[in-house]
């Protein structure tokens, strides 16, 4: 399955929209700082989850080259995410 770029874009938009809706009390600088910090952390967590899901949505295709007898195989592989 190909990487789901439109889904990642939608999840990023949702995270940014949610972040922009967080109200910050501008009367108190310490509350403002704490609320802003929480908003950034929440946004980062949401984006990280979206990126993880995006990467996991791809298909990894590998090619493995082996050496050794039929009962004692060793090898290495390389892959591509599509």
The residue range of the domain holding 35 is 1-57
User: Mind listing the pLDDT tens digit for each residue in 18-77?
Assistant: 888 877 666 766 666 777 788 889 899 999 999 998 888 888 788 877 787 777 777 777
| Total domains, the chain | 1
- What Cα–Cα distance (Å) separates residue 55 from each residue in 8, 27, 38, 42? 9, 41, 26, 20
- Whether residue 33 is contained in a domain is answered as yes
- Tell me whether residue 78 is in a domain: no
Give dist(CA 28, CA 61) in Å, integer.
54
CA R_g for the chain: 22
Does some domain include residue 53? yes
In this prediction the pTM is 0.63
φ, ψ of residue 66 in degrees (nearest 5)? -115, 160
């Amino acid at each position: 399955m190909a990487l789901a770029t439109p889904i990642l874009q939608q999840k990023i938009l949702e995270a940014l929209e949610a972040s922009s809706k967080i109200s910050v009390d501008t009367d108190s600088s310490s509350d403002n700082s704490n609320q802003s910090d929480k908003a950034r952390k929440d946004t980062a967590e949401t984006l990280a989850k979206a990126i993880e899901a995006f990467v996991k949505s791809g298909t990894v295709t590998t090619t493995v080259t082996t050496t050794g007898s039929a009962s004692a195989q060793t090898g290495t592989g390389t892959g591509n995410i599509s």
